[in-house]
Amino acid sequence: MSTTLARRLSRLEHSVAADQIRRWATAVVTLRATMDPGHARQAADWLNRHVVGQQWGPHVASPNHVCPRCVDRFQPPALARAVWLMLIDHLTTGAPVALPPNVAAVYLNDPDAYPANPCGACGYLLPMRSQVRPDGTYRHIASYDGECPACGRDSRTDVEGSA
């Protein structure tokens, strides 16, 4: 590879990395603005103590891979897990991020709650009582019923409409 091409590739890689960091920081600010300050501090404290600087997914070849199985390896409390998975989903799919107190209460009251049920209108990850399978997918046990905090769509309408 020529020096010029290597230099251009390096600049492109740095640009992509800088954009990812910017998008992550913006998502964190957006998410935090929707949260109760105590909930935000609780999740951030746990994530900073246990996750920052750690390896995520040893069960796959990609160093950037993160799935529910990777996250569960750290045994996070449900609220911290929800924050982490919502931020990752936002970066990968563009789904909105929000965790108002009524939704945070689901995670605080149910250690088996995961943000795993995409809203049919906007893609926001609504809470579900779930178990993570060995392949990183979910086995859903029960769902959150109510309005999506991002777009207001009522998940009960989805269930009633499909019956």
Residue 64: predicted pLDDT:
59
Residue 55: predicted pLDDT:
55
Tokens in use for 6? 């290597």
Q: What is the mean pLDDT of the chain?
A: 84
Task: Please tell me which residue, 107 or 12, carries the higher pLDDT value.
Answer: 107
Tokens in use for 147? 């309005």
pLDDT tens by residue, 98-133: 999 999 999 999 999 999 889 999 999 999 998 888
Alpha helices, H only, 64-127: 68-72, 78-93, 101-109
Longest dimension (CA), the chain: 62
Residue 162: predicted pLDDT:
39
Give the strands of the sheet with 113-118, arranged side by side: 113-118, 125-132, 138-143
Cα–Cα distance, 161 to 163 (Å, whole number): 6
